[in-house]
Amino acid sequence: MLVNEKVAVEHGLKIDEYKKICELLKRTPNITELGIFSAMWNEHCSYKSSRLHLKKLPTEGKKVIQGPGENAGVIDIDDGDAIVFKIESHNHPSFIEPYQGAATGVGGIMRDVFTMGARPIANLNSIHFGSPQHKKTKNLLRGVVHGIGGYGNCMGVPTIAGQTSFDSSYNGNILVNAMTLGLVKKNKIFYSKAAGLNKPVIYVGSKTGRDGIHGASMASASFDEKIEEKKPTVQVGDPFTEKLLLEACLELMAGDSIIAIQDMGAAGLTSSSIEMASKGNLGIEINLNKVPCRETKMTPYEIMLSESQERMLIVLENGKEELAKKIFDKWNLDFAVIGKTTDTKNIELFFNNEQVANIPVDALVENSPMYDRKWKKSKLPKKNKIKRDIINKLKIKDILKKILSHPNICSKEWIWQQYDHTVMGDTIQKPGGDSGVVRVHGTNKAIAATVDSSAVYCWAHPLTGGKQVVAESWRNLISVGATPIAITNCLNFGSPENENNMGEFVECVEGIAEASKYLKFPVVSGNVSFYNQTKEVGIKPTPSIGGVGLIKELEKMITMDLKETNNLILVIGKTEGHIDQSLFARVILDEKNGPPPEVNLFNEKNNGLSLLKLIEENFIKSAHDISLGGIITALSKMCIKGNKGVHLKKTKSLISEIDYLFSEDQGRYIIEINPKDIKEVTKILDKNSVHYEELGVIIKDDIIINEKTKLTIDELKSYNTNWLINYMS
């Protein structure tokens, strides 16, 4: 095929980018070379619109072993152990083909983790759908959930936590973000940097097919009316093969054969070979005739751009080929020596004894475009004038019923029941709590993990929203007794070519950076997903934050279920009555304007560390952070989990009762303590200048809010549990 500007544009390249390619090569690229450039220079692989701003994120810390730049981040959890983790998007594929899109998203993130030598021990997800009334939402939800469960369950990795939300901005572009944690010994971590000359380059795993070609490019484009035509770009997963690949790789990793290893994810053989060569400042020569293919007459272009799943690229030590082959033969996987490392610093491809591509690696990586896009700074919205005459007429029971049954608050048990969350036998807190928790096998310590996002806050004011979502992750880890260590992020936004969308991205990143730095909660891995829009309509800005923390002693783990009658309930953190952007404002008052709640990072840190101190001293019986829906929503969930009621004291707050119960001020927790410990608990809180209020006392069956409002636990359960079950039936 003759390559020209028109063909380049069809590959997703801008005309000026095509001209730059010709300048770098000092000639016109052939079609295979153009395909390689289009894959490496698209948004998904090159981060050309985001790299400039991602540099603002703090990436170092005492516990950080590996930050961004590898397949996943790595943190130290003591005793020679480390946790490898990352979150990634598979948004576009999941909208086009929900089951396979979600399934291969899970498969891809697990490969990122075990590529580094870690055995996956837990999966999480953050999934976002359009309005429940939209014609596609139910089928998309069903397909995605089945895809996540289908792949993770077959791999034998528990799904321990997640987040699901609904919003009309996702009607034409759902979000599917998958996260995996893996366990590895610190001295057995593997990296993707190629080293040495004339080292054999090995292809292992499944055969290469025509599925997923242009998958990375598709992920870097907006949807249009031709969406159905994009189905061939969606990869097809085989979890049983991935399980074999996992075991084979870990068996080979037990020895000293591997120099470098990289999974074939986005852009397949193209990105894996080029990234390994670039990191090692080497060249790689590949004979494409030796690549195992499952379809006949595949061209070099197709072989290089295929995103067939369950494949790895390995640089081996010389003389280790037979040893490696025996292992992969044993696991019934393809194994082929397809090339070698060179000193040319070029990627050189041969097919049918002819050179079909010869590209300097630097041209693909170091010289890839980096844009300083125009962006608009957002203004903090003015506070709404609260409609007091309307609020005064409202009944707390009616409000709570609507809030607890709201799609974004209601129990997601229908979803997580379809995931195997106990396989491997180390899950000690299942989905539905503040964080999922898994035991580090054979030890008395555990890892807590959570995934959070808040599109509404980020849409209202991106800078504040970015800070909030990090703080939410921090609180969710602390609520189960874990010391927060680090985060991963998946940044989901509309087109970066739109100034408003780009502004949302820039300010969210600045907010994430500010909170991460202050809380000493560094970003060790992540992913950017742009072009989440249909035609010109983008999603609400949705940065997903995956947080990981350590519980040093299993006995110190905290759950949210209320434990004993007559125990006291306290609120940690001050309630100012912030109603704007709350669920109460949007659902009850139909008010969607106004600023999100302020994030005071000093209070977040101080309140959180003080709570950890109380947990360490064994004063806390249960705990739950206060977020969406406010105090009464958080307390209701604790009542439901523990099958206990609470008699609330009359608040001494100067704000109205409804404001107090339903506002979404940040930095707050609800805790349960024994009455005999009240003096010691308040002593610690007073010493640390932490604001607290006594909320009430645990009783047997009911929530009594004032002497006028009484709800049974069964009523709370019916409000909270029925919506999703009924919706999906």
The rounded distance, in Å, linking the Cα atoms of 377 and 111 is: 38
Report the amino acid identity of residue 508.
Answer: C
Buried b (16+ CB within 10 A) or exposed e, 358-388: bbbbebbbeebeeeebebeebeeeeebebee
Any idea how long the chain is? 729
The rounded distance, in Å, linking the Cα atoms of 33 and 44 is: 18
DSSP code at position 585: I
Retrieve residue 502's tokens.
Answer: 């780009």
Active-site entry in 44, 214, 406, 461:
44
How far is residue 524 CA from its own chain's centroid?
Answer: 12
Active-site entry in 11, 53, 90, 624:
90
The rounded distance, in Å, linking the Cα atoms of 461 and 493 is: 14
- Look at residues 453, 364, 309, 405 and name the one whose alpha carbon lies nearest to residue 725: 405
Handedness of CA 616, 619, 623, 627 (dihedral sign): negative
The rounded distance, in Å, linking the Cα atoms of 419 and 182 is: 18
Name residue, tokens 């590959």.
Answer: 11
Q: Is 44 a catalytic residue?
A: yes
Report the amino acid identity of residue 34.
Answer: L
The rounded distance, in Å, linking the Cα atoms of 583 and 589 is: 9
- State the DSSP H helix or E strand holding residue 152, giving kind and residue range, or none if neither: helix 137-155
Q: In what order do the strands lie in the sheet with 523-529?
A: 427-429, 436-439, 446-452, 542-551, 483-492, 523-529
Neighbours of 256 (CB within 10 A): 9
How far is residue 64 CA from its own chain's centroid?
Answer: 18
- Look at residues 280, 271, 504 and name the one whose alpha carbon lies nearest to residue 377: 504
3-state secondary structure (DSSP) of residue 396: helix
Handedness of CA 364, 366, 369, 373 (dihedral sign): positive
250: left (phi over 0), alpha (psi -120 to 50) or beta: alpha
Report the amino acid identity of residue 479.
Answer: S
3-state secondary structure (DSSP) of residue 347: strand
- Look at residues 573, 572, 548, 528 and name the one whose alpha carbon lies nearest to residue 445: 548
Q: What is the DSSP string of 274-330?
A: HHHHHHHT-EEEEEGGGS-BSSTT--HHHHHH---SSEEEEEEPTT-HHHHHHHHHH
Q: What is the largest CA-CA distance in the chain?
A: 87
- What percentage of the chain's residues is helix, strand, coil (to nearest 5)? 40, 25, 40
- Look at residues 574, 579, 584, 557 and name the one whose alpha carbon lies nearest to residue 667: 574
Torsion angle (degrees, nearest 10) of CA 234, 239, 243, 248: -40
Name residue, tokens 């730049």.
Answer: 69
The rounded distance, in Å, linking the Cα atoms of 217 and 220 is: 5
> Would you please indicate which residues are annotated as catalytic (active-site) residues?
44, 90
